[in-house]
Amino acid sequence: MTDTTTKPAKPPARVEVTWAGERRFDAGRPGGPTIRLDGNAVTGQTPVDGLVSALAACTMVDVVDILAKRRAPATALKVEAVAQRASAVPARVTQVALEYRLDANVDRDTAERAIALAITKYCSVRDSLDPALPIEASLTLNGEPGPPITLAAVPV
């Protein structure tokens, strides 16, 4: 039997973006911390870099949470995200590669499954992007690189 219970909707994400001169903008929740976005990439990330960072960070939150629930907490996690861009205007993101560098007392299958679940099921940033946007992932676990991670729908 399928559970048809739905969770209540999360409150809207509300941010304020303030122009800080030139092509610089400070963004954040009202009264909260801000990040600098800079169209020239001098004092902060470009907006596209911010988008790619949000995708990487969102999946990382989920990976850390999944591993902690499996009693295999990460001791270090870094993601290098590379986004390919279209040559036409607008230069939209056409593909993203996420390279996870994880240190944890966990087997490779569990770590790869956590990454796949984060990308394909739990990351709300990923789910907000075009579903056709290709995303690739790879894992270096405790200094040992591995093959690309299969990101087909992952059973829970």
Q: Is 41 left (phi over 0), alpha (psi -120 to 50) or beta?
A: left
Show Cβ contacts of residue 6 under 8 Å, excluding neighbours closer than 6 positions: none
- What's residue 123's pLDDT? 97
CA dist 68 to 51, 61, 75, Å?
A: 26, 11, 11
Beta 135-141 vs 93-104: how paired, if at all?
Answer: parallel
DSSP 49-108: HHHHHHHHHHHHHHHHHHHHHTT--EEEEEEEEEEEE-SSSS--EEEEEEEEEEEESS-H
- What's residue 8's pLDDT? 86
- What's residue 154's pLDDT? 52
pLDDT category at 35 given cuts 50, 70, 90 is very high
Query: Tell me, what DSSP letter sits at residue 42?
Result: S
Query: Tell me, what DSSP letter sits at residue 140?
Result: E
Check whether 2 has a pLDDT greater than 70: no
Q: What is the mean pLDDT of residues 112-138?
A: 96
pLDDT category at 6 given cuts 50, 70, 90 is confident
Query: Tell me, what DSSP letter sits at residue 40?
Result: T
Of all residues in the chain, what percent carry a pLDDT higher than 90? Answer: 89
Check whether 52 has a pLDDT greater than 60: yes
Q: What is the mean pLDDT of the chain?
A: 94
Amino acid at 123: C
Decide: 155 and 115 in contact? Cβ < 8 Å. no
- What's residue 4's pLDDT? 59
pLDDT category at 36 given cuts 50, 70, 90 is very high
Q: What is the mean pLDDT of residues 35-57?
A: 98
**Tens of pLDDT, residues 67-122:** 999 999 999 999 999 999 999 999 999 999 999 999 999 999 999 999 999 999 99
- What's residue 7's pLDDT? 81
Nearest to 149 by CA among 85, 49, 63: 63
